[in-house]
């Protein structure tokens, strides 16, 4: 059934006109605290851009900072991206404080809009108190400095974001060579980037440095990898829409919500075991699973696999129980799992206008399959009821005729066969009609028939 659903969606996607993603620019917005959902957003958008053949990814950044582990994961994702990454602090009045500044330094091209601010990168504790421990400060200073060096920026000025909590606007950041451009619009950003090339060069000691140079002068620079941005200002742009999985992860990232789901789900499972057949335990397991996603214990991909398995198990259980609730729950869980993984990398970038249509088709096909499954369950139940009546039990309710007086025992003929019988409602003489009401071994229990 799951395979049928996915095949149907794939067919719909194939029938939709695909947008030309070659030479495109993928634009991704980050406008919240940096946490696990942000990591998922970044990694999936990089996969999306890679699958679609985009030339450039532009991250519009506006954040007060966030979790250090998530920040470092995003920095690693940027440094490992096969597509050049632009981090653009925008719109006017926005900021990339703390973790946002680290992310900015890890980008291939750093840009700020008018009136924006970067800096204040000293680490703080969970309660918001500044951390002054030398070991941590030195580690994060090195992280900021080394990423600035990797991208050919001012290392000394970058370190001061951590050691002195320096804050800079676009004018100062550009003068200190901490960013490459200042731009108030995407068109302006791409137009300024148009005459440049990004080169991966090697230092005399063998380390690598990314350099952004004018394409006209790039012949004087030795490099091992190169990205040319000629014509990038004419490239089509696609705004990345977070998948359902990322939206769900963002929603579940609220720790209070995750705790509530865990507590309610745990009690629901216990109640469900005491009152089986009502689906309370299914809802409880689902809530616990969602809480585990929110706490970061399991990722979206693993959660989708577990939901698929649970959905299939419930639909199979329905054949055994015929409660109805298991089939409905199974279908709902399979659809939820499908939405967690859909769209697959490249689909949304290649055909952004088709995603909503495909999602609607996914639900419709799932509902159609649930209807078919309901018919199958009904037929199985019918077959089981018929199976009970195979053999002598099928005689119960049949009308027979007395062939030997029942006083109270005798013989009757039912369905052409003679059986020993005993009445439970008085005597019956030969020729009387009787109804079979039960069977004990080879003796039929009968009563006089009113017909």
User: Could you give the C-alpha distances from 281 to 173, 257, 368, in angstroms and in order?
Assistant: 56, 19, 26
- The alpha carbon dihedral of 78, 43, 26, 54 has a sign of positive
Q: Summarize pLDDT for 213-249 with one digit per residue, the tens.
A: 999 998 888 999 999 999 999 999 999 877 666 666 6
What is the C-alpha to C-alpha distance for residues 326 and 317, in angstroms, rounded to an integer? 7
Q: How far from chain centre, in Å, is Cα 311? A: 15
Per-residue pLDDT of the chain (451 residues; tens, 9 = 90+): 444 444 444 444 444 433 343 479 999 999 988 988 899 899 989 988 998 889 999 999 999 998 899 999 999 999 999 999 999 999 999 999 999 999 999 999 999 999 999 999 999 886 678 889 999 999 999 999 999 999 999 999 999 999 999 999 999 999 999 999 999 999 999 999 999 999 999 999 999 999 999 999 988 889 999 999 999 999 999 998 776 666 666 666 666 777 777 788 777 777 776 665 556 777 777 778 777 777 666 766 677 777 777 777 776 666 666 656 666 677 677 766 766 665 544 444 434 444 455 555 655 665 666 566 666 656 655 665 554 444 556 778 888 999 999 888 899 998 888 889 998 877 888 888 888 888 887 888 888 887 6
Q: Summarize pLDDT for 264-276 with one digit per residue, the tens.
A: 877 777 777 666 5
Taking a C-beta distance cutoff of 8 angstroms, is the pair 124, 130 a contact?
A: yes
CB proximity list for 16: less than 8 A, separation 6 or greater = 351, 353, 354, 357, 358
Grouping H, G, I as helix, E, B as strand and the rest as coil, residue 405 is coil
What is the C-alpha to C-alpha distance for residues 391 and 339, in angstroms, rounded to an integer? 49
Taking a C-beta distance cutoff of 8 angstroms, is the pair 65, 34 a contact?
A: yes
What is the C-alpha to C-alpha distance for residues 201 and 389, in angstroms, rounded to an integer? 83
- The alpha carbon dihedral of 28, 32, 34, 37 has a sign of negative
Taking a C-beta distance cutoff of 8 angstroms, is the pair 94, 59 a contact?
A: no
Closest CA to 54 of 83, 89, 90: 83
What is the C-alpha to C-alpha distance for residues 97 and 103, in angstroms, rounded to an integer? 10
Q: What does the buried/exposed string (b/e) look like for 124-150 if buried means 16 or more CB atoms within 10 Å of the residue's CB?
A: eeeeeeeeeeeeebeebbebbbebbbb
What is the C-alpha to C-alpha distance for residues 318 and 321, in angstroms, rounded to an integer? 5
Taking a C-beta distance cutoff of 8 angstroms, is the pair 347, 13 a contact?
A: yes
User: Could you give the C-alpha distances from 366 to 233, 234, 343, in angstroms and in order?
Assistant: 43, 41, 16
According to the CATH classification, is domain 392-448 in 2.40.50.140? yes
CB proximity list for 23: less than 8 A, separation 6 or greater = 53, 55, 231, 235, 236
What is the C-alpha to C-alpha distance for residues 43 and 307, in angstroms, rounded to an integer? 22
Sheet bearing 56-61, strands edge to edge: 181-182, 109-112, 85-89, 56-61, 25-30, 237-239
Closest CA to 77 of 29, 44, 55: 44
CATH topology (fold) of 20-190: 2-enoyl-CoA Hydratase; Chain A, domain 1 (3.90.226)
Taking a C-beta distance cutoff of 8 angstroms, is the pair 329, 279 a contact?
A: yes
Q: How far from chain centre, in Å, is Cα 274? A: 32
Q: What is the pLDDT of residue 318?
A: 64
Q: Structural domain boundaries of the chain?
A: 20-190, 392-448
Q: Taking the model in full, what pTM does it have?
A: 0.63
What is the C-alpha to C-alpha distance for residues 63 and 178, in angstroms, rounded to an integer? 18
Closest CA to 337 of 269, 289, 272, 282: 289
């Amino acid at each position: 059934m799951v395979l049928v659903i996915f095949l149907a969606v794939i067919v719909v996607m194939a029938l939709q006109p695909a947008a030309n993603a070659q030479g495109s620019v993928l634009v991704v917005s980050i406008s919240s605290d940096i946490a696990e959902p942000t990591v998922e957003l970044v990694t999936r958008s990089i996969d999306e851009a890679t699958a679609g053949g985009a030339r450039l990814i532009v991250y519009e950044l506006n954040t007060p900072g966030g979790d250090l582990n998530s920040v470092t994961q995003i920095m690693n994702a940027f440094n490992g991206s096969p597509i050049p990454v632009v981090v653009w602090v925008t719109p006017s009045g926005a900021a990339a404080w703390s973790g946002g500044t680290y992310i900015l330094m890890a980008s291939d091209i750093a840009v700020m809009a008018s009136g924006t601010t970067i800096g204040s990168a000293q680490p703080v504790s969970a309660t918001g108190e500044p951390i002054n421990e030398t070991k941590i400060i030195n580690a994060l200073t090195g992280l900021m400095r080394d990423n600035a060096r990797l991208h050919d920026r001012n290392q000394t000025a970058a370190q001061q974001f951590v050691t002195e909590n320096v804050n800079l606007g676009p004018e100062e950041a550009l003068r200190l060579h901490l960013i490459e451009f200042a731009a108030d619009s995407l068109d302006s950003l791409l137009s300024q980037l148009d005459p440049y090339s990004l080169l991966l060069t090697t230092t005399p000691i063998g380390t690598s440095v990314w350099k952004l140079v004018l394409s006209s002068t790039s012949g004087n620079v030795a490099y091992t990898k190169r990205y040319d941005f000629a014509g990038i200002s004419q490239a089509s742009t696609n705004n990345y829409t977070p998948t359902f999985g990322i939206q769900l992860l963002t929603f579940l990232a609220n720790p209070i919500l995750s705790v509530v789901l865990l507590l309610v789900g745990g009690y629901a499972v216990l109640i469900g075991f005491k009152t089986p057949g009502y689906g309370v335990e299914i809802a409880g397991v689902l809530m616990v699973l969602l809480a585990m996603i929110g706490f970061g214990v399991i990722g979206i991909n693993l959660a989708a696999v577990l939901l698929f398995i649970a959905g299939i198990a419930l639909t199979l259980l329905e054949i055994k129980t015929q409660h109805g609730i298991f089939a409905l729950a199974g279908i709902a869980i399979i659809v939820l799992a499908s939405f967690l993984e859909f769209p697959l990398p490249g689909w949304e970038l290649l055909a952004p206008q088709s995603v909503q249509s495909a999602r609607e088709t996914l639900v419709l096909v799932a509902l159609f399959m649930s209807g078919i499954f309901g018919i199958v369950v009904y037929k199985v139940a019918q077959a089981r009821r018929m199976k009970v009546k195979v053999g002598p039990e099928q005689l119960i309710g049949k009308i027979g005729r007395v062939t030997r007086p029942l006083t109270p025992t005798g013989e009757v003929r039912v369905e052409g066969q003679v059986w020993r019988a005993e009445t439970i409602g008085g005597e019956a003489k030969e020729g009387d009609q009787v109804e079979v009401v039960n069977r004990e071994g080879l003796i039929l229990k009968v009563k006089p028939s009113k017909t």
